[in-house]
Amino acid sequence: MSAESPDDVDADEEQKRATTSSPYTVQRDEGEKHHVFWADAVADRVEEREPEEPIVIKGGISPSGVPHLGNVNEIMRGYFVAEVLRERGHEVRQVFTADDRDPLRKLPRTLCDLEGNLVDLGEVNASALGRNLGSPYTDIPDPFECCDSYGDHFSNIIQNSADAVDVPIELVSTTELYETGQLEDVTRFVLEHQDRAREVLSAYQDKVDEDYVPFNPICEECGKVTETVTAVDVDAGTVDYRCTDMEAGDQTISGCGHEGTATLREGKLPWRFEWPAQWQVLGVDFEPFGKDHAEGSWPSGQDVARNVLEIEPPVPMVYEWFTLDGEPFSSSEGNVILVSDVLELLEPEVLRYFFAKDPSKARDFSVERLDLLVDEFDRFEAIYFGEVEASEDERAFAERVYPLVVDEPREERIRLPYTFAAVLGMTDDPDLREEIARREGHISEDDPEWAIEGALARVARARNWARRTENEFDYELKRSEIPDHDFDEPTEAALADLAAFVEEGHGPEEIQGEIYESAKRHDVPVGEFFSAGYRLFFDESQGPKLGPFLSNVDREFVVDRLRRER
RNA sequence: GGGCCGGUAGCUCAGUUUGGCAGAGCGUCUGGCUUUUAACCAGACGGUCGCGUGUUCAAAUCGCGCCCGGCCCGCCA
């Protein structure tokens, strides 16, 4: 480098630019056909590679702990590209690596069971985990004792998440790729070309020196992934190692000092090599990844692929991270939500829609304002069916993307507005929910049964949302038992008036009016009288618009309750 | 400090690749409905498109400089 003239440097730069693909610009490829959907632009790029069938799309994460909604990017982003390519007549495999030979580097403060319930580290056998710091996830016993290993436990949850959003993935265990020898040839190749490997990687990592060996054996004595290789015998397919201390963040995981020999199946490649090795072994044509990889492992990864492994790296795509209610995901801070949690709050298609949006934009997944997202989806859907006015852009996006977001577009479906569904959730009587929805005109006589069922399923979800956020819809009609109350005489008299009025049979607005009238008649401040009503029906001082609500609940109960008789 | 991505109405977001009147939903306000109580309908209000500058007949869109937020530039993944 030092002997080169400036011209040569420029030529080098030129060369590098020509062969280096930016993972950012894929969504809007200059000079190419403009697409309304980013996955179409990515699919163009994949097709340009003239890939062999089946086309392989990969994602992957380290099953290190609670797999939260952010990890779903790895699944859904790839899925949309896979679907677009399938539409175009290609055979596509979507594989997903659980990078489960990675060592446990620090104790997670929070874990979760297979149902997705968060569990504090203190509630499981933490010391057993502590002893396994530095060991591959697949060699650590499952703290919940329900799966074969720690790695399997969290891999299972990832698989469940993919199932829940109805994305077919082939989950591949990286440990298995090593153990079955599928990564053995590429591992040997890397060790055979250690000099090249060092040279390439040293451009990205300062620590890579003469002694660096791109292989980390697992200590046969203590089971930890070690970093000190003392000799390599490529022909025999073994390395000698000494089990030394490993730096992990701010702490040190101590090695046992054992000296031994490991085969190429008994260890792992460092990530910067493992990733490109996976591309080669699995034949990966496209892989999305988070922005943390964009300036680190992606540049080195494509360099390793081309100049060490001599393969063409996959089409890349960066996705922005999103936040949860404005804060970064953090299981230790409790700011975490799992796919299973989200699906208790909204339909899978709404979640799929969220991931169909532009990956280059950082977004907030706001549970507090989940109604906005659901409204947005409902509108998106209505635009697809031509039910509402929309701009050209919105229409084009909906027409292209909606069929990829829902399984089976059905025009007769019914969507209750999310906040209205939350109001219906104030009663747990399914018949009453349906009746109110009918009266309010959301369900009509000739609607098919499946559509009604689907509509009312949202009520349960909106109810969960109200309960989880404790928002203004979090009221529960106290039907079985009358709440404690203490009213003065004028209030009781006004309630008696109101009961008599309701008994006569009146509409929602009339009842609303009578609430004012009866309060005035007995000199009860209107606000206080409303509070009395909310106390009787919800055991709260506030609540939904009372007249319409009461008019929709069965009359006998309302009258009896106003008279404090049940 | 260097590289990269993002910044559009109170909130959530389209629009930027290909320059052509600044958009939607939600919220707010007003009215529909005599009098604070949240579901429905109609209307209105709401913007230095992060800031500055250049190019252009014309800039949210293109160039340059800057500000703010995030990621990377140690290790690990």
| A440 nearest nucleotide via C1' and CA | B40
ipTM of this predicted complex?
A: 0.89
Does the CB of A244 sit below 7 A from strand B? no
**pLDDT computed for residue A34 by the predictor:** 77
Q: From residues 369-388 of A, list those within 7 angstroms of strand B by Cβ.
A: 369, 371-373, 375-376, 379
**pLDDT computed for residue A335 by the predictor:** 84
Task: Identify, with chain letter, the residue nearest to nucleotide B34 (CA–C1').
Answer: A513
**A539 CA, B36 C1': separation in Å?**
21
| A528 nearest nucleotide via C1' and CA | B37
Residues in CB range of A106: below 8 A, 6 or more apart: A133, A248, A249, A251
Name, of A23-27, A169-173, A454-458, A505-509, the range with top average pLDDT. A169-173
Looking at the predicted structure, is the pLDDT value of residue A388 above 50? yes
Retrieve residue A392's tokens.
């050209």
| A299 nearest nucleotide via C1' and CA | B72
Does the CB of A361 sit below 7 A from strand B? yes
Confidence class of residue A102 from pLDDT cuts 50, 70 and 90? very high
**pLDDT computed for residue A350 by the predictor:** 94
Confidence class of residue A228 from pLDDT cuts 50, 70 and 90? very high
Q: Which residues pair with A229 in a beta bridge?
A: A241
Does the CB of A106 sit below 7 A from strand B? no
**pLDDT computed for residue A554 by the predictor:** 81
Confidence class of residue A206 from pLDDT cuts 50, 70 and 90? confident
**Coil, helix or strand for A246?**
strand
Confidence class of residue A219 from pLDDT cuts 50, 70 and 90? very high
Retrieve residue A433's tokens.
């929910």
**A297 CA, B5 C1': separation in Å?**
16
Could you give the count of Cα atoms lying within 13 Å of A269 in the half-sphere of its Cβ? 25
**A25 CA, B53 C1': separation in Å?**
27
- The larger pLDDT score, comparing residue A230 to residue A246, is at A230
The answer to whether A325 and A364 have CB atoms below 8 angstroms apart is: yes
Does the CB of A307 sit below 7 A from strand B? no
Rounded to the nearest 10 degrees, the angle between the axes of helix A150-164 and helix A72-87 is 50
The DSSP output letter for A104 is P
Q: What is the pLDDT of residues A136-157, one digit of tens each?
A: 999 999 999 999 999 999 999 9
**A315 CA, B52 C1': separation in Å?**
38
**pLDDT computed for residue A295 by the predictor:** 84
C-alpha A28/C-alpha A34 separation (Å) is: 7
Confidence class of residue A12 from pLDDT cuts 50, 70 and 90? very low
The DSSP output letter for A65 is S
- The larger pLDDT score, comparing residue A541 to residue A102, is at A102
Retrieve residue A440's tokens.
């309010």
**pLDDT computed for residue A31 by the predictor:** 54
| A216 nearest nucleotide via C1' and CA | B76
**pLDDT computed for residue A319 by the predictor:** 92
| A31 nearest nucleotide via C1' and CA | B17
Looking at the predicted structure, is the pLDDT value of residue A316 above 90? yes
Helix then strand count (H, E) for chain A reads 23, 16
Radius of gyration from C-alpha coordinates of chain A? 30
**pLDDT computed for residue A4 by the predictor:** 33
Could you give the count of Cα atoms lying within 13 Å of A24 in the half-sphere of its Cβ? 7
Does the CB of A489 sit below 7 A from strand B? no
**pLDDT computed for residue A515 by the predictor:** 87
**A393 CA, B11 C1': separation in Å?**
22
Looking at the predicted structure, is the pLDDT value of residue A1 above 60? no
**pLDDT computed for residue A7 by the predictor:** 37
Which of these ranges, A5-14, A95-104, A239-248, A417-426, has the smallest mean pLDDT?
Answer: A5-14
**pLDDT computed for residue A25 by the predictor:** 58
End-to-end C-alpha distance for chain A, whole angstroms: 89
- The larger pLDDT score, comparing residue A346 to residue A21, is at A346
Using the Cα atoms of residue A111, residue A114, residue A118 and residue A122 in order, give the sign of their dihedral: negative
Mean pLDDT along residues A407-433: 89
Q: From residues 314-343 of A, list those within 7 angstroms of strand B by Cβ.
A: 320-321, 328
- The larger pLDDT score, comparing residue A468 to residue A19, is at A468
Looking at the predicted structure, is the pLDDT value of residue A310 above 60? yes
Looking at the predicted structure, is the pLDDT value of residue A464 above 80? yes
Does the CB of A518 sit below 7 A from strand B? no
Q: ∠ at Cα A123 (A121, A109), nearest 5°?
A: 10
Q: Which residues pair with A324 in a beta bridge?
A: A327, A365
Could you give the count of Cα atoms lying within 13 Å of A510 in the half-sphere of its Cβ? 11
% of chain A exceeding 70 in pLDDT:
95
C-alpha A74/C-alpha A79 separation (Å) is: 9
**A70 CA, B53 C1': separation in Å?**
39
Mean pLDDT along residues A533-562: 84
C-alpha A171/C-alpha A151 separation (Å) is: 12
The stretches of A104-246 forming alpha helices (DSSP H) are: 126-131, 150-164, 174-179, 184-192, 194-202
| A550 nearest nucleotide via C1' and CA | B39
Q: Which residues pair with A232 in a beta bridge?
A: A239
Looking at the predicted structure, is the pLDDT value of residue A302 above 50? yes
Q: What is the pLDDT of residues A471-483, one digit of tens each?
A: 878 888 888 889 9
**DSSP element (H, E) containing A98:** strand A92-98
Q: Average pLDDT, whole number, for chain A?
A: 88
Does the CB of A472 sit below 7 A from strand B? yes
Q: Parallel, antiparallel, or unpaired: how do β-strands A286-290 and A315-319 relate?
A: parallel
In one letter, which amino acid is A261?
T
**A121 CA, B37 C1': separation in Å?**
45
Mean pLDDT along residues A499-520: 83
